[in-house]
């Protein structure tokens, strides 16, 4: 299939709108949780020593750790501003990759009118934001963005290259593929298996086998998987036999779906109903070859059985959510973009944009204000050589220390001054101890 790199009608405006919002969201998002544990005076030797230690005693995600330390240690020199631009750009790039790839997989051309093109790009962005369970942890949190958004964007780019048979790359791209494969274990393994299957098919058909691409990605997966730290860390967790892992995985499937699916499914369902005379129901649900994205999402979730139940955080399901978004995007592109559905699509997208802004903007603004007040109060108390006491903030039904709708969780200051994350905050702010009170 041909995944065209050409610019589509409405693409530039649609992506510019997405980038503008993402840049603001990344800029206003404060540091939280592990971010403070990775802030220290910049010292390359210290960073390399910590990365090597983590590889051997905690996690095999060495490149993720290295990039995170580089970003956060250089924050006095403007690295957070650069991160906001780069992270917004990577999310925008993911939107573009998903649109181009899914349009080709569905076998549908780009809409002719600029308005329809802009609407489709914005709608795909909204699906990527609202359908994953913990978007704040994977797209705004500095540590989480590097560990989840970046590899997903990279692997989706690679998947698009595989589907379009553009597997010949230069040396810089092969190095990039190797590094992409060192981010996230189950996603890296899934793409390695896809590349192996693609290579086997090409060999069976007598076609040129993309050995260089397959080997570079497989090498990254191997370096990630054999890290001693993976097994050291696993031994610190509660033992998890296969039945326990399967039970945890079935529970984790709930992180793929929540009520925010309803407006997107309803909008696409209207489009499919209006085009029912052009395409039969079984064919429209297949969305060309789009149904394969559902299979890939299920395969990814099955690979999570490699993790103990204790490690199955909701954010680990983010790649499966993106693959399901790809399937919905394929369904969207099979809807007939005539004048009637074009009006429905535009009005529905406008309503979703209003919902998005009404929920997200006040929440992120409040979080930024809380973080600013904490930092200002801490610096004032440190200057007076006092033990730092901050007001406790609890939000949400589960009483997280700091909680925002749509599971955008910001970990706040713990009442226990010996809590690891609270100690990281204290060290970053130059305080001896920090604790929170009601």
Structural domain contains residue 117? yes
Residue located via tokens 């544990």: 37
> Which of 333, 360, 387 is where one domain is finished?
360
**Distance, CA of 355 to CA of 357 (rounded, Å):** 6
List all residues 6 or more positions away from 202 whose beta carbon is below 8 Å from its beta carbon: 208, 209, 210
Structural domain contains residue 46? yes
pLDDT for 112 equals 86
Domain hosting residue 349, numbered range: 11-360
- Taking residues 13-41, report their average pLDDT: 93
Check whether residue 347 and residue 396 sit in a common domain.
no
Structural domain contains residue 3? no
Helix axes 339-383, 261-274, angle to 10 degrees: 170
Check whether residue 365 and residue 346 sit in a common domain.
no
Q: Of 19-23, 325-329, 374-378, which range is least confident?
A: 374-378
Structural domain contains residue 6? no
pLDDT for 195 equals 96
Find out whether 133 and 322 touch, Cβ atoms under 8 Å. no
Check whether residue 372 and residue 352 sit in a common domain.
no
Check whether residue 285 and residue 409 sit in a common domain.
no
Q: How confident is the model at residue 397 (pLDDT cuts 50, 70, 90)?
A: very low
Backbone φ and ψ of 400, nearest 5°: -60, 155
Structural domain contains residue 433? yes
- Taking residues 242-253, report their average pLDDT: 88
- % of the chain beyond a pLDDT of 70: 93
**Distance, CA of 100 to CA of 156 (rounded, Å):** 11
Check whether residue 399 and residue 327 sit in a common domain.
no
pLDDT for 402 equals 42
Q: What three-state secondary structure class fits 111?
A: coil
Check whether residue 278 and residue 409 sit in a common domain.
no
Check whether residue 347 and residue 380 sit in a common domain.
no
**Distance, CA of 296 to CA of 319 (rounded, Å):** 10
Check whether residue 295 and residue 431 sit in a common domain.
no
pLDDT in tens, 177-204: 999 999 999 999 999 999 999 999 999 9
List all residues 6 or more positions away from 300 whose beta carbon is below 8 Å from its beta carbon: 186, 187, 190, 319, 320, 323
Q: Which two tokens stand for residue 121?
A: 């790009």
Check whether residue 366 and residue 292 sit in a common domain.
no
> Which of 306, 330, 360 is where one domain is finished?
360
Check whether residue 247 and residue 168 sit in a common domain.
yes
- Residue among 395, 396, 390, 387 at smallest CA distance from 373: 390
Q: Of 29-33, 116-120, 375-379, which range is least confident?
A: 29-33
**Confidence (pTM):** 0.94
Residue 170 has pLDDT above 80, yes or no: yes
pLDDT in tens, 253-282: 877 887 889 999 999 999 888 877 666 677
> Which of 337, 360, 383 is where one domain is finished?
360
Angle made by CA atoms 184, 59, 319, in degrees to the nearest 5:
15
Structural domain contains residue 173? yes
DSSP string of 136-150?
HHHHTSHHHIIIIIH
DSSP 158: H
Check whether residue 234 and residue 337 sit in a common domain.
yes
Residue located via tokens 């395969």: 299
Q: Of 39-53, 322-336, 363-377, 391-405, which range is least confident?
A: 391-405
Report strand pairing: 408-409 vs 434-437. unpaired
Compute the chain's Rg from CA coordinates: 23
pLDDT for 288 equals 87
**Distance, CA of 373 to CA of 140 (rounded, Å):** 20
- In total, how many domains does the chain have? 2
Structural domain contains residue 201? yes
Q: How confident is the model at residue 421 (pLDDT cuts 50, 70, 90)?
A: confident
Question: Looking at the DSSP assignment, which residues form a beta bridge with residue 404?
Answer: 408
**Distance, CA of 314 to CA of 322 (rounded, Å):** 14
Check whether residue 292 and residue 163 sit in a common domain.
yes
Mean pLDDT (the chain, rounded): 89
Structural domain contains residue 4? no
pLDDT for 274 equals 84
């Amino acid at each position: 299939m041909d995944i065209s790199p050409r610019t589509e009608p409405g693409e530039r405006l649609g992506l510019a709108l997405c980038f503008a919002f993402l840049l603001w969201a990344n800029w206003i998002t404060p540091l939280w949780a592990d971010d403070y544990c990775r802030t220290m005076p910049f010292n390359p030797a210290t960073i390399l020593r910590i990365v090597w230690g983590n590889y051997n005693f905690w996690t095999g995600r060495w490149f993720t750790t290295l990039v995170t330390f580089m970003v956060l240690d250089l924050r006095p020199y403007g690295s957070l501003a650069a991160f906001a631009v780069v992270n917004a750009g990577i999310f925008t790039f993911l939107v573009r990759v998903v649109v181009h790839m899914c349009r080709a997989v569905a076998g549908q051309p780009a809409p002719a009118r600029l308005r329809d093109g802009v609407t489709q790009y914005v709608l795909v962005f909204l699906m990527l934001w609202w359908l994953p369970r913990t978007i704040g942890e994977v797209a705004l949190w500095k540590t989480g963005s590097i560990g989840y958004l970046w590899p997903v964007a990279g692997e989706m780019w690679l998947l698009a290259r595989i589907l379009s048979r553009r597997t010949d790359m230069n040396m810089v791209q092969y190095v990039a593929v190797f590094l992409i494969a060192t981010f996230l274990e189950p996603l890296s393994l899934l793409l390695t298996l896809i590349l192996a299957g693609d290579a086997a098919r090409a060999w069976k058909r007598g076609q040129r086998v993309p050995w260089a691409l397959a080997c570079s990605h497989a090498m990254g997966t191997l370096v990630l998987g054999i890290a001693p730290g993976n097994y050291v860390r696993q031994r610190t967790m509660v033992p998890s036999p296969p039945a326990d892992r399967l039970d945890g995985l079935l529970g984790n499937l709930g992180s793929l779906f929540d009520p925010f699916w309803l407006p997107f499914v309803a909008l696409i369902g209207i489009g499919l109903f209006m085009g029912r005379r052009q395409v039969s129901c079984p064919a429209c649900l297949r969305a060309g070859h789009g149904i394969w994205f559902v299979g890939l999402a299920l395969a990814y979730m099955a690979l999570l059985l490699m993790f103990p139940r204790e490690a199955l955080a909701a954010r680990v399901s983010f790649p499966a959510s993106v693959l399901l978004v790809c399937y919905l995007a394929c369904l969207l592109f099979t809807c007939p973009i005539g004048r009637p559905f074009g009006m429905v699509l535009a009005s529905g997208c406008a309503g979703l944009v209003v919902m998005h802004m009404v929920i997200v903007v006040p929440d992120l603004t409040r979080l930024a204000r809380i973080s600013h007040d904490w930092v200002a109060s801490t610096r004032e108390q440190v200057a007076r050589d006092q033990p730092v006491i901050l007001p406790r903030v609890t939000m949400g039904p589960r009483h997280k220390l700091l909680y925002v709708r749509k599971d955008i969780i910001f970990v706040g200051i713990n009442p226990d001054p010996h809590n690891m994350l609270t100690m990281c905050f204290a060290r970053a702010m130059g305080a001896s101890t920090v604790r929170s009170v009601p």
